[in-house]
Amino acid sequence: MRRNGDPEMILTRDGFDGDAVVSDGNKFITGNGKFGYRGTLDEMTREHCVGLNIAGLYDGVEGKWRETVNAFNPFYLQVYADGKPLCAWSDNVIGHRHSLDISCGVFSRETRFSVCGGTLELKAQRFCSMADVNVLASRLTVSSDVDVAVEIVAGIDDDVWELNGPHFSSVAKGCREDMLYAVGSAQESGTSVRVNCKFSSVPNRFDGRFAHFYVTVAAGKTYVLDRIAQVLVGDEQPTPTEDYDALYARNADMWSKMWDRSDVELEGDGIDRAQFALRYSIYQLLILTPRGDCSIAARGLSGQTYKGAVFWDTEMFLLPFFMNTDIAAAKRLVEYRIRTLDGALAKAKSYGYKGAFYAWESQDGYDACSDFNVTDVFTHRPVRTYFKDKQIHISADVALGIIRYFDKTQDNELLLRGGLETLLQISLFYYSYSYYNHNKDRFELLDVMGPDEYHERVNNNAYTNYMAYHCTVRALELCRALRREFPSEVAAVLRRFEPDICDSLDEWASKLYLPACGDNGVMEQFDGYFALEDVTAEEVRKRLVNPREYWGGTTGVATATRVIKQADVVMLAVTLPQYFTVGQIAANYRFYLGYTEHGSSLSASAYALAACMTGRAEDAWKWFLHTAEIDLNGGGKQWAGDVYIGGTHPAASGGAWMVAAQGFEQICRPKFLHRVVSHHE
């Protein structure tokens, strides 16, 4: 594939648009799995949503939602020319451009100013090092066609943008020759966060917060200032760093290796737009490659939205990419769920159930999901929602991730070191949660919420029932197979359960109600769904009084209708297609399409995959572009009631990869002009 500097791998914005600052922060983000740096300019501050988000470090302030922590910004910089500040929005700007090279994760800006009768140009680039995960690097160049006196104010901005802060109880700052530092402690845990920033030259003075450099830029000459930063969390210690050029080369080399195993190339006429969107989606996934014990949050590393928590998105939309491109990273994602089993056991117990009920919004196993996730736009009062306590499908989603990983790797050790117990505890949870209907001699899963979050507290959601069934059956199969090969190890696992656990689960699975497709091939999403008002998503949209209204809950505009938030039965069909015929998948695709609002970024890729499975080439292409371009177009909902939910959409990026790398091949090639020609694993 093409390498760094190639224009076909560069995302660009020409001209400064103040209204696009927040969306550009998402769109031009850089990262390396440990932290993400939003795509903002050097002179921007918290009011522009500058963020350096740290993966897996959570903090809670009393009375507010617990969320991930944004570190101090090490690369704040303000240039003054002839005593006047130079900003991208100054009235003396001649031209501006900023860009992101997705081949190597480098963000750049070029801004030209009219100064002292001539033109001064600022150029800057920065990256989060993939090779040295604590390190960020930045290079500033200042050039002019006239002599001009320049002051550069640079340093670590400790005025942090936060949604539910402040998260640092105290901040200490200082300067040692050519290096600034800022260190603070998270309020809840006391975990320290230290940011160091080393300059390529010694500043002329330090004012207690920022360093000041005074230079005269001669006509035709260029002044260069490099900054190398380290972000250190907890007990991490600073390490010697190389100069900017060496760091840049190491970062580019690491990116090259990652692209070699991750790239998917499309072939056909007029596919440049789609090819870039796909590679941009892959880029978004690569910058989230998990480090250490962390998993991947629903909004990635773009900020604190959704509390930085891990959702079902990870198993269902992200894990497939990593299982095919970076199996070590995939293993870390699976091990995260095994490691947080105790939290799932505790959650189930708190509701009076046995087994493992996983966190809907996991912060290292703690369920950060609030009972009141939405604020009514009319009354401004919090609305009781049931994501946390009724979306029980989360445990099956976790189980499916473990099962898929094992099917790919045959990693018996992972199962014996917690994976098998996790699968059995998840199965036990469903057994414990279920209701036995004596009249119909079957088990049912009542009072649940499926992927369609607009209909709460329904009975026998098809997705939930099938997922619970499938994962229980597979857990029992794996248990029996492992017992033959590792009898003593499996016996040790089974001693943590009732003696007849496998027999009980086997009987339960054999009697669990699994909704069937009707004569028309359509499966009812949940009991009573077909009796709801038969109205399309577009018709319901017209009923909105306020565009920020929440569609679901007890009083939402969609609640009494067939209109659903996102793929539900269709999601089931593409996840477990072995339970459907192709004709049934097609029937459910046709039936539910008009009712689906696509109020979640997870929805389009499920419909794209269903279109692939049923030979709908044009639909597949449309839904693929929809999901692949969601962050490029600034799509997705930004608000749920009065709550800001903006940020990047990793699940959409993962879905785009799934459609391109796995879905398109299912379409008869002669009928489909745009086909995948290579997938480097």
Yes or no: say if 185 and 58 are a contact pair by the CB < 8 Å rule: no
Taking alpha carbons only, the member of 140, 128, 492 closest to residue 289 is 128
* Residues linked to residue 101 through DSSP beta bridges, in sequence order: 10, 106
H/E/C letters for each residue in 362-411?
EECCEECCCCCCEECCCCCCEECCCHHHHCCHHHHHHHHHHHHHHHHHCC
C-alpha 275: how far from chain center = 21
Active-site entry in 43, 315, 453, 597: 453
| Helices (H), ranges, 558-602 | 569-575, 582-593
Phi, psi of 464 (to 5 degrees): -65, -45
Cα 291 to Cα 439: distance, rounded to the nearest angstrom: 51
What does the chain come to in residues? Answer: 681
Spatial distance between the Cα atoms of 294 and 308, rounded to a whole number of angstroms: 11
Active site residue 267: no
Task: Choose among 603, 599, 569: nearest CA to 586.
Answer: 569
Asked if 650 contacts 285 with a C-beta cutoff of 8 angstroms, the reply is: yes
**Cβ–Cβ contacts within 10 Å for residue 308, how many?**
31
Residues 463, 468, 472, 473, Cα dihedral to 10°: -30
Q: What are phi and psi of 657, to 5 degrees?
A: -65, -45
The answer to whether the Cα torsion of 449, 452, 455, 461 is positive or negative is negative
Q: Where in the sequence numbering do the catalytic residues fall?
A: 453
